[in-house]
Structure 1
Amino acid sequence: MATDSSSSSSGSSVVVVVPLPAQGHTPALIHLSRKLAAEGFSIVIVNVESVHRKIAARWKCSPQLDIRLESIPFTSLIGEQGLEIKCIISDFHAVWTTPVAQKLGVPQVCFWSGSAAWALIDRHVPLLVDLEYIPVPGCSLRGEKMISFIPGMDPFPALDLPYYLQEFSKVPVWSLVAKSQRFNNDKWFIANTFEALEPRETQAMKQLLGEQNFLAIGPLLPLDQEGLEQVVSLEEEELGCLEWLDSRPEGSVLYISFGSLAVLTQEQFMELALGVESSGISFLWVIRPAFLPQGDLPTMEFFQGFRDRMVAEKRSIIVPWTPQKRVLSHASIGAFLTHCGWNSIVESVWSGVPMLGWPCHSDQNLNLRLPVESKGIGARVACSSRRMEVVHRERVRAVVRKAIEDGGEMRGAVRELRDLAVAAVVEGGSSNRDMATFVERLRSL
């Protein structure tokens, strides 16, 4: 078992933290681990070997914090002299920790990495299945069917259900229903959201699970530049883009990123590229190698020509990965074209940057509706919510120009929400109070 530690946890009771091994889930739990270590807890962060190696290679942490990095399997920790596991905090989707917690006889705390609205929907998956709002194999989803019985949420069409609930060929019903049992079985739920972002939804979850059993402790982000530089990424970051941003006027750059998993079709990639190019707006675009259709020669030839034109014009750059939190906090960023992953939304709100939503998978379509559109902090790029609809270059060009050149209303709304996010995490704020409650209850174990 590979090990890397900031200090020794031997001889003390430890909190085991298990992220889902994905870029959109791991960093927030690492930041939570640092906050708990600052409260005096001994933390062991456990990952699969491949992710463990990446984190260990880039690890930056004060030696005063008792945080240790381990790789699976972590049950052998029990055999170490004097080591006692206080509890396990695991990502909701890391379902393999439940039998381990049961075997050890220790409480399990669920970390919810998404929105409270998404939690409400997942909490009601068994009912959605029973009432046939979620299709069974062989049936198609009737997108016009309205869902009106989920507390804390206005009626919404079934097309706004998270994408994975609409794709039963990929996710079997039994696994979704089984996973939802964590709402009933885990000791507490802690979520990377904050009350002002989702007031009705967080209150509804508190009413369902108990006022002190659902704790909204977000945004789980560093508060200062030094903290931003300590953020751990699972991908190699291109830091040169920060120097390029320094050369651009304030609010003039469109930042484009579809996260670590999304891919576009050949047609859609070309339409998007030609749309942003013809807009005349400077952009910083994250294009991972896997973002493009692999082995597709016409796409690769188009991409090479597109990239060469951007290099020649010197008004835009393309990189494989960025330090996203530092990019979004840069003064030159005027808008963020995003896949609407929850981390990206929280980071954009924290930085006061309006969003152009282009959801691709998972909960991202829900995130675009709540809170991006509902709060007026961004706009939808596509003309409708239908997933497979191709967004043409003319639409892309118009939406991008409006956001950068005439997006004052969205900027004002997101900056107001940014102030509320800051207020939530400082002393007396809603997330600060929920975090204090969690720390107090963790000490009582």
Structure 2
Amino acid sequence: MVELAKLFLRRGHAVIIAVVNPPDKDAVSADAVARLAAANPAITFRLLPAPSSCGEEDHFSSPILKTIDVLRRANAELRELLRALPAVDALVVDMFCVDALDVAADLAIPAYFLYASAVGDLAVMFHLPYYYPAAPSSFKDMGTTALHFPGVPPIRALDMSTTMLDRESDIAKERLRQYTRMPEARGFLANSFDWLESRALEALRHGVCTPGRSTPPVYCIGPLVLPAQTSGERHPCLQWLDAQPERSVVFLCFGSLGTFSAAQLGEVARGLEKSGHRFLWVVRNPPEHKDESVLEASLPEGFLEKTADRGFVVKNWAPQAEVLQHGAVGAFVTHCGWNSVLEGIVSGVPMICWPLYAEQRMNKVHVVEEMKVGVAMEGYEKEIVKAEEVEAKVRLVMASEEGNKLRKRLSVAKKMAADALKKGGSSDMAFEEFLRDLEKCSSDYKKTM
């Protein structure tokens, strides 16, 4: 959202970012917003008070359901904030804030979604209200059955978003309700670019994802990724990378929530050791050792010593954008969170896809089958990926003809991503088209007090 705000600022628009304070994390959210505000003084941040609890009877079968409920109950505060402003040209909301469409409609403000995942995922979600009720069973019971949606490659049922696997679950029913409402928005601002997902974008623009219903325009304005930090003290892993040959290092990072069991960490360690390649690995404690402060306790005995001449292991966090843009990095083992995928693309680094949760398995399909900028770590859907598979995929990307083809494809994708953001590029023009739409509808929607 901050990177989108910067686009508005560069076009001369004032921006307010409203953040809902979760009821149980007030101090954490306040500190996070304060840090964002300090780093982005041109953007106004408003922390909306945490909605009051409905009482002890509050019980949600999924954390996502709780989040959706909190956001829904925050609509009253959002409405008051918007009413207090002298003029509002548009309301841009997160994908979980579907019920904020009601606030926008009440105040005659055009509402848009910021869609922060793949456009291919959006095509699937638009079509799910038509597809889901007619499916013979829940996706969780359909295994490797190929599902066909407009604009994307076939997706195995087990690779669908984890929230939609059981159609009888509360979270699946709630998400389906949200997907049904999404086309009510004036449009979608997507963190992608035309060249990367042209087929999905074409399906959306031709309305085949929402048969019998109009599809709002989708403006691909990305890639919007956090810029690499160029000032301040450098992380030790970057200094280590400086001493490594070009494209010689495999970077493994699985996001802020990605964790593996101790057994799986052991398999990864053995695979890296047997591969013979240099590596930079961000390791988080396994659930069974979550309070362990010593990194060695999470890894096989002797692993760090055996690989000290070609490996660097970081606990919990590394500056991913800076790492990927370093010339020494030759492959990226990723959980396929969309921001990570985009960072890999803009850095020109081939990906080894190891999806963990949410829509990441769908992103894996887009990366491997549609974009052809990565390969899949086979067995990711099972309890354990074996060391032999880790070794094989590292060798394939780092030292094979297929790996060379991936690098050539990524070189093109990197250039196309940069071109999209240039003046007159597809993403620049899409944002201009969005702004023209705002001007066109201002007479109907613009709010004045």
TM-score category of the 2 structures, normalised to the smaller one:
0.7 to 0.9
Q: Which amino acid aligns with 2:7?
A: K
Q: Which amino acid aligns with 1:44?
A: I
Q: Which amino acid aligns with 1:162?
A: S
CA distance 1:399–1:147, shift in 2 (3 Å)? closer
Shift of 1:300: 7.2
- Give aligned pairs, total: 399
RMSD over aligned CA atoms reads 3.1
What secondary structure is seen at the aligned counterpart in 2 of 1:124? helix
The TM-score normalised by the length of structure 2 is 0.79
Structure-1 residue corresponding to 2:96: 93
5+ long unaligned stretches in structure 2: 22-27, 50-76, 443-449
**1:212, 1:301 → 2: CA distance?**
52
Structure-2 residue corresponding to 1:54: 32
Structure-2 residue corresponding to 1:37: 9
| Aligned with residue 417 of structure 1, among 413, 420, 441 | 413
Do the aligned partners of 1:311 and 1:317 also contact (CA within 8 Å) in 2?
Answer: no
Q: Does structure 1 residue 309 correspond to structure 2 residue 305?
A: yes
**1:110, 1:306 → 2: CA distance?**
50
5+ long unaligned stretches in structure 1: 1-28, 232-236
Q: Which amino acid aligns with 1:47?
A: V
What secondary structure is seen at the aligned counterpart in 1 of 2:352? strand
| Aligned with residue 213 of structure 1, among 212, 217, 230 | 217
Structure-1 residue corresponding to 2:349: 353
**1:303, 1:315 → 2: CA distance?**
13
Could you report, residue by residue, the CA deviation over 1:228-281 in whole angstroms, capped at 9, with x for unpaired residues?
A: 3289xxxxx982322222121111111111112222233222211221133222
**1:358, 1:317 → 2: CA distance?**
19
* Identical columns (%): 28
Could you report, residue by residue, the CA deviation over 1:178-209 in whole angstroms, capped at 9, with x for unpaired residues?
A: 11133321111111111111111011112227
**1:103, 1:293 → 2: CA distance?**
50
Shift of 1:88: 1.5
What secondary structure is seen at the aligned counterpart in 1 of 2:90? strand
Structure-1 residue corresponding to 2:393: 399
| More deviation, 312-321/407-416 | 312-321
**2:286, 2:105 → 1: CA distance?**
38
Q: Which amino acid aligns with 1:151?
A: P
Shift of 1:307: 6.8
Shift of 1:119: 0.7
**2:330, 2:281 → 1: CA distance?**
13
Do the aligned partners of 1:146 and 1:157 also contact (CA within 8 Å) in 2?
Answer: yes
**2:386, 2:280 → 1: CA distance?**
20
Q: Which amino acid aligns with 2:201?
A: T
Shift of 1:366: 1.5
CA distance 1:276–1:52, shift in 2 (3 Å)? farther
What secondary structure is seen at the aligned counterpart in 2 of 1:42? coil
Q: Does structure 1 residue 145 correspond to structure 2 residue 175?
A: no
| Aligned with residue 69 of structure 1, among 45, 65, 74 | 45
**1:259, 1:134 → 2: CA distance?**
32
Do the aligned partners of 1:46 and 1:52 also contact (CA within 8 Å) in 2?
Answer: no
**1:228, 1:298 → 2: CA distance?**
29
The TM-score normalised by the length of structure 1 is 0.80
CA distance 1:430–1:146, shift in 2 (3 Å)? same
What secondary structure is seen at the aligned counterpart in 2 of 1:321? coil
| More deviation, 170-179/321-330 | 170-179
Do the aligned partners of 2:280 and 2:314 also contact (CA within 8 Å) in 1?
Answer: yes
**1:240, 1:279 → 2: CA distance?**
24
Q: Which amino acid aligns with 2:408?
A: G
Structure-2 residue corresponding to 1:188: 187
Structure-2 residue corresponding to 1:376: 372
| Aligned with residue 249 of structure 2, among 217, 229, 253 | 253
**2:373, 2:169 → 1: CA distance?**
32
Could you report, residue by residue, the CA deviation over 1:297-320 in whole angstroms, capped at 9, with x for unpaired residues?
A: 999734384674378546323232
Do the aligned partners of 1:60 and 1:230 also contact (CA within 8 Å) in 2?
Answer: no
**1:291, 1:433 → 2: CA distance?**
46
